Structure 1
Amino acid sequence: MSTILKWAGNKTKVMPELIKHLPAGPRLVEPFAGSCAVMIATDYPHYLVADINPDLINLYQEISRNTSDFIERTKHLFQMFNSEDGYYDSRDSFNYDKDPDWRAPLFLFLNRHCYRGLCRYNKKGEFNVPYGNYKNPYFPENEIRAFAEKATRATFICASYDETLTLLVPGDVIYCDPPYDGNFSGYHTAGFTEDDQYHLASILERRASEGHPVIVSNSDTFLTRSLYRNFTHDRINVKRSIGVAAGKGKTADELIAVLKPRVWAGFDPAGGPDCSVVHEVRA
């Protein structure tokens, strides 16, 4: 199933490789929600999905709570405002009117009509991606309904990655897909700096030492290989349409970094969570 959003770094196409590294567990924790491609493509009993972007989390919460109403509102926008003027009027409404009933539908509308589905804000917190000039943008009704069904297993929170990683419980599996090293990271006004890359890697290594399997996606660069030097590495080559220089092949190497804890406390593979059990994890 495709994702609801067009999203830079969407993991749908790499899931056949990524899923090989995701162990079973009672709950998958994702501090960087993105398009929720990993949640959609996996079958964990529970999910904790977080992101620092409040518009993204509001979209997912609204779909979960009011699926039919959300579909009708968003369908109306697609039918009535599918033009350049309609796009910029809708972007103004999103940035300045801030009507809570329409904010989630507008966010999806902008995503499907803006240039390459980018999510970008200026320093004032205003969505500023230009019109994408698509003749007939796809309305993902089937994807919305499938997402809503899967979301019954999920909790969505607006929180930073470090806040989210304080909420772990025994048995949790961690998957992180942060803004990539060296790539665009303006999906939120706070950005994502090199210091954040260091801080995230440090937290993840600590959480692995506490018994949590950790899987990370990032660019395959000198920095990421250094930050995740204690992890096992799997390099994959992926197609990219954003951030590729003219004349170059539109592919790039990505790194899947995995750290399996020596012991995994709190999960009985046969019976689910069990805080009295400590299992040795073998590669």
Structure 2
Amino acid sequence: MKTNEKYIAQPFLKWAGGKRQLLPEIKKYIPETINTYYEPFVGAGAVLFGVSPAHAVINDVNSELINVYQVIKDDIEALIEDLKKHQNDPEYFYEIRNLDRTEVYPTLSGVEKASRIIYLNKTCFNGLYRVNQKGQFNVPFGKYKNPQVVNEPVLRAVHQYFQENEITILNGDFEKTVERASEGDFVYFDPPYDPVSDTSSFTSYTLTGFQREEQYRLRDLCVELDKRGCKFLLSNSATDFIKEIYQEKGFTIKIVSASRNINSVGSKRGKIDEVLVLNYESN
């Protein structure tokens, strides 16, 4: 089935490149029948939660993000309790933000680290996750009047979904995530996007970035998955480069319009063209 209506799980973080706005369009192309659902760049999980598959393998290279998912799955009560301690105050915000610059940070528990990331995400400027060259969170205070740091219903819904279904959570390379994918499985790829201009690339999500060499490696993985009989759907920016490398392999490309609300420059927010690449006939 496309969706599992039993769950109201939804993204609990604001995330650059999040697919909440594009979800209705994406869901038009999700296969009716899926054995195992794979999402190697899970991010905030809008598509995962929108589909709510019973069997899924999710992954992200961002270890902080994956820790949050793991804690929600395994230790929801402790997480909710820890979130209640946070204050919407600039002095407190910078104290918590700067923990990863201290010797204290490695001693924090998984729950404390997850609580910190959710708190920073809800109170930092524009809900942006960004790190500097040392891997330290560096987004300033957002000055919001009443941020919803403890969204208990949503966190509990995600916990319930993880507990009642077979969800494997990984933190590694996208290629390794789908090494067991086979015929009847479905893979949704939402990689860091190919920049539409020389100044638009967002590479501060992790220390490694995602260059064109990686875009080619991802394209070649799609070719391999196609040979295995897997169905895949991939989102990316509608650049000539992206359209060319997938068209030359015979894959179907759909142009869709998406809203982008996370950008440090206000004029760069709004509607932009994206592509959906797939290797099967859409429903």
> What TM-score bracket applies, with the shorter chain setting the length?
0.7 to 0.9
Kept after mapping to 1: 8 A contact 2:40/2:177: yes
Partner of 2:211: 193
TM-score, length of structure 1 as denominator length:
0.86
What is aligned with 1:37?
46
Aligned residues: 260
Match of 1:84 among 69, 87, 90: 90
Counterpart of 1:17? 25
What amino acid is the match of 1:7?
W
Over residues 161-211 of structure 1, what are the superposed CA-to-partner deviations in whole Å (9 max), with x where a residue is unaligned? 122122324432100000111031321111111111111111111111111
C-alpha root-mean-square deviation of aligned residues, in Å? 1.9
Alignment of 1:200-211 (within 5 A): 200-211=218-229
251, 263, 272: which one aligns with 2:271: 251
* TM superposition shift of 1:241: 2.4
Q: Structure 1 residues 160, 82: closer, same or farther in 2, change over 3 A? A: same
Q: Give me the TM-score of the superposition, normalised by structure 2.
A: 0.86
Closer, same or farther: CA 35–93 of 1 in aligned 2, 3 Å: same
Q: CA 1:130–1:247 in structure 2 vs 1: closer, same or farther (change >3 Å)?
A: closer
Structure 1 residue corresponding to 2:117, chosen from 107, 119, 131: 107
Q: Which has the higher contact order (CA 8 A, sep 6+)?
A: 2
Task: Assess, with a 3 A threshold, how the Cα gap between structure 1 residues 222 and 282 changes in structure 2: closer, same or farther.
Answer: closer
Q: Which amino acid in the other structure matches residue 172 of structure 2?
A: A
Distance 2:99 2:269 in 1: 38
Letter in 1 for 2:122: R
Identity %: 32
Q: Which amino acid aligns with 2:187?
A: I
Question: Structure 1 residue 121 and structure 2 residue 131: aligned?
Answer: yes
Q: How does 1:1-283 map to 2 (within 5 A)?
A: 1=8, 2-23=10-31, 24-77=33-86, 81-96=87-102, 97-98=104-105, 99-100=108-109, 101-139=111-149, 140-152=151-163, 153=165, 154-182=167-195, 183-229=201-247, 230-243=250-263, 247=267, 250-260=270-280
Asked if the contact 1:94/1:106 (under 8 Å) is kept, the reply is no
Moved more, 161-170 or 5-14: 161-170
Conserved 8 A contact 2:15-2:43:
yes
Query: 1:33 and 1:255 mapped to 2: Cα distance?
Result: 18
